[in-house]
Amino acid sequence: MGIINITPDSFYDGGKTFSEKEILKQAKKLLSEGATFLDVGGYSTRPGAEEVSEKDEIERAAGAIETILKSFPQALISVDTFRSEVAKKAVEAGAAIVNDVSGGTLDAEMYKVVAKLKVPYILMHMRGNPKTMAKLTEYKNVTIDVLKDLAEKIALAKSEGINDIIADPGFGFAKTRQQSFQLLNNLELFQNLDVPILAGISRKSMIYKTLDTSAENALNGTTSLNTIALLKGASILRVHDVKEAVECVKLFENLKS
């Protein structure tokens, strides 16, 4: 899953894909490198991110989706949003998947809307919102607590009529670095949820702060942890760098065979 952030303040690539020309350039690059999906977001969810109005988010996300599909009509696009109205408008614009970093906690209508849209739903674990999540890291046992929360939300989403669900443990979202590493180390346990697992580790602070570097210099670390995620059962890698992730997947599939 290749990331296209239509935001001025994302932690790694903020402001880079704001114009129509840059959106198409990035989409072409990611698809040519082997992306299965493009994940389009109009609201930065980095820790401490500024609020974005629903209107602005719809214009950014739906506009980018329409732009991409005009040039690449076969592209599979997910919309990265926690707002049901944005999800609805994005699917109307051509998105095929809803990727909700809040797992339904920030919009009570999300499950009902996604069920009506009849699209797959990526349900991520997070506490609070982008401004508050960094302070909400108290767990008895992060792996057990996140697993339990995801299991409960998956059951609720299914009861609302969502049939296709993908789970994301939410690395870095209301988790310390050490908690994110604990989740990765125990990722195979998330197969008990009986849904595909998405790992979103790309260039995150758990990598660059551990290596005392920057997000710009975290590609090698990302590749290392993506490989571990695959070995531990991840089905989807959400990444900024598709070429390297595709190479990871190819090597992993040959290892398995």
Q: What mean pLDDT comes out for the span 87-104?
A: 98
The single residue of 204, 232, 250, 256 carrying the catalytic annotation is 204
Domain ranges of the chain: 72-256
Of the pLDDT bands very low, low, confident and very high (cuts 50, 70, 90), residue 44 is: confident
In this prediction, residue 49 carries a pLDDT of 63
Instruction: Indicate if 28 belongs to the active site.
Output: no
Instruction: Indicate if 60 belongs to the active site.
Output: no
pLDDT digits (tens, 9 = 90+) for 50-94: 788 999 999 999 999 999 999 999 999 999 999 999 999 999 999
Q: Name the DSSP letter for residue 66.
A: H
Query: Which sign does the torsion angle of CA 211, 213, 219, 220 carry?
Result: negative
The single residue of 29, 55, 238, 243 carrying the catalytic annotation is 238
CATH number listed for the domain at residues 72-256:
3.20.20.20
